[in-house]
A and B are shown apart, each in its own frame.
Chain A
Amino acid sequence: MIWNKQYECMEREELLKLQGERVASMVKRVYDSVPFYRKKLQEKGIEPGDIRTIDDLKKLPFTTKQDLRDNYPFGLFTVPQTDIVRIHASSGTTGKSTVVGYTHNDIQMWSEVVARSLSMAGIGKSDMIQVAYGYGLFTGGLGLHYGAEKVGATVIPISGGNTKKQLQLMEDFGSTVLACTPSYAAYLGEALVEEKIDPKNIKLKAGVFGAEPWTEEMRSQIEQLLGIKAYDIYGLSEIIGPGVSMECHCQKGMHIFEDHFIPEIINPESGEVLPYGELGELVFTPATKEAMPLIRYRTRDLTRLHADRCECGRTLVRMEKCVGRSDDMLIIRGVNVFPSQIESVLLEMSETKPHYLLVVDRENNLDTLEIRVEIEEQFFSDEIKELEGLRKRIKANISSILGISATIRLVEPGTIERSMGKAQRVIDNRKIK
């Protein structure tokens, strides 16, 4: 079901015109009300009147996470506090938290894009949606909540955690949709098996999962455990929260709600805009946001955009699952390598767990990649031929999927550092710059 045909199926020409108008008016707003942006535009010699069509977007400077930190907490708000109806903040794993604000209209717009997202997964009035994203400063819980109410579904605002209760309500209430992070969905699926709950008593049909990167392998695992179709939802608090883009039933990438969030793909090094189909860093301009519109916000997420028409009938561009973050991409012998790809290979193999460390070096002007993989005691064979066989299989899988040859080094369990936040996955010993 398409929630808003007018915007989701708009002809490209018309959409570009609309985006141009929205950007122009937004630039004017931030120029007038945010000293940080006024200064930044003046430095580039840009007057609000210079931005008239969507083609002018590329003239504008980027906004980075650092800019948000520098203007902590409310420096980028365009409206007085009297117009702000809600604040959210992201957890500050790498510094101060990032604060975002919403006006009444922003909340309406957010509910609208989440309603469009849920409709893509066929969710409507007859559904009961268990929102197991955290409610609070994190945008996941409340973001899904308002969108679900907008489509008329019955919301169970259970929030995250309390697994026993989740399973009990799922069974007693007959929830048809689960919304949470993919890792929690997998955990709930395993708990269902452990608690020996009869799958016949579970009425789930769809899952709306996002807020962290996940692989296709994880998708099939979750789908099998919960007996559902798992949909990927994307978003980040700086832009709005969940609902920036979402997969339709064709599952050929996530449709970006471009009438609100204007996407670009850029070369992360040069900042140059790349054409559709090319891999680069995703940049968003949330042009209709009232409280905190950002100009060309760099997400650090790496992906590709596709503009060919989707079978579902929507004309909105689709973004691929993000392959990694531009700040952790490695270039090894000219090949782009993301730690997430290696993780995906290791996850696919039953004998390995994703505890690994990449060591990059340069010998005789040639890059070398060593992957240290922990031995799992369960699969530790005391025969060299078995261990060497495992090493060769990892090497062959890495080579066939990433197209590079790596040295695999098996290491003792527990010797690779664990981290609750962002794990250190790469040691780059090359001294190039």
Chain B
Amino acid sequence: MIIKQLSVFLENRTGRLTELTGILAANDINISAFSIADTADYGILRMIVGRPDAAAEILRKAGFAVKITDVVGMIIPHRPGGLHKALQLISDNNVAIDYMYAFASGECKATVVIRAESLQKLIDVLQEHKMELLQQGDVYQV
């Protein structure tokens, strides 16, 4: 249920992200989702990749500061109100979210990647309400 997310510190420099995607491509690592949190000088790239441990090692060797963070992938219906219903559930149960980003997978489903203060509590709440969770096998490359 817990998915490993890769976070990378990136300076705001033209071409820096391209260097990173180039390295991942050359090493046959698939990116399922990503987001960038940015400030004036730097950004944090967060991504869900096919082989997180290998990708972290490869990026470190290339000189990037990399961190592996646990996140949860929550699968919701891809239609109006789908996200709202899920978030209502989370906030009703007092789970604080640090950050989140989403990607629509196919026509009827969307996945929301969530990093929360207490990941276990989030999982418990979601499971209790029969919400579908992203499994490692859905995104990890074999």
Is there an interface contact between A414 and B39, defined as CB atoms closer than 8 Å? Answer: no
Query: What separation, in Å, do the CA atoms of A384 and B64 have in the docked complex?
Result: 17
**Binary contact readout B77-107 vs A (1 if CB under 8 angstroms, 0 otherwise):** 0000000000000000000001100000000
Cβ of B134 within 8 Å of any chain A Cβ, yes or no, is no
Q: Is A409 interfacial (CB-CB < 8 Å)?
A: yes
A382 touches B11 (CB 8 A): no
* Contact residues of B between 34 and 65, Cβ < 8 Å to A: 37, 39, 41-42, 44, 46, 60, 63-65
Stretch at the interface among A176-184, A237-245, A258-266, A373-381: A373-381
| Contact of B66 (CB < 8 Å), options: A376, A377, A414 | A377
Chain B residue nearest to A381 (CB atoms) is B67
Interface residues of A in 69-90 (CB under 8 A from B): none
Q: Does A308 contact B (CB under 8 A)?
A: no
Distance between Cα atoms of A381 and B66 in the complex (Å): 9
- Identify which of B10, B11, B39 contacts A384 (C-beta below 8 A): B39
Instruction: Establish whether residues A382 and B39, one from each chain, have CB atoms under 8 Å apart when the complex forms.
Output: no
A412 vs B115: C-alpha distance in the bound complex, in angstroms?
24
Give which listed residue, A381, A388, A412, contacts B11 with CB less than 8 A: A412
What's the least CB distance linking B106 to chain A, in Å?
A: 28
Q: How far is the CA of A384 from the CA of B9 in the complex (A)?
A: 10
Name the B residues within 8 Å of A387 (CB-CB). Answer: 39, 42, 44
Complex CA gap A331/B30 in Å reads 51
Interface SS of chain B: strand
**Do A388 and B65 touch (CB < 8 A)?**
no
Question: Per a CB cutoff under 8 Å, which of A375, A377, A382, A409 touches B60?
Answer: A377
Whether A168 sits at the interface, judged by CB under 8 Å, is: no
Query: Is B120's CB within 8 Å of the partner chain A?
Result: no
Q: Which of A374-430 contact B (CB under 8 A)?
A: 375-377, 380-384, 387-388, 409-415
Whether B111 sits at the interface, judged by CB under 8 Å, is no
Residues facing A in B1-53 (CB within 8 A) are 5, 7, 9-11, 37, 39, 41-42, 44, 46
A414 to B65 CA separation, bound complex (whole angstroms): 9
Set of chain A residues within 8 Å of B42, measured between Cβ atoms? 387, 410-411
- Given A375-B65, A384-B39, CB of A412 within 8 Å of CB of B9: yes
Q: Is B69 an interface residue (CB 8 A)?
A: yes
Beta-carbon nearest neighbor of A384 in chain B: B37
6 CB-based A-B contacts, threshold 8 Å: A376-B65, A377-B65, A382-B7, A382-B46, A383-B99, A413-B64
Chain A residues proximal to chain B, CB less than 8 Å: 375-377, 380-384, 387-388, 409-415
Give B residues with C-beta under 8 Å from A: 5, 7, 9-11, 37, 39, 41-42, 44, 46, 60, 63-67, 69, 98-99, 115
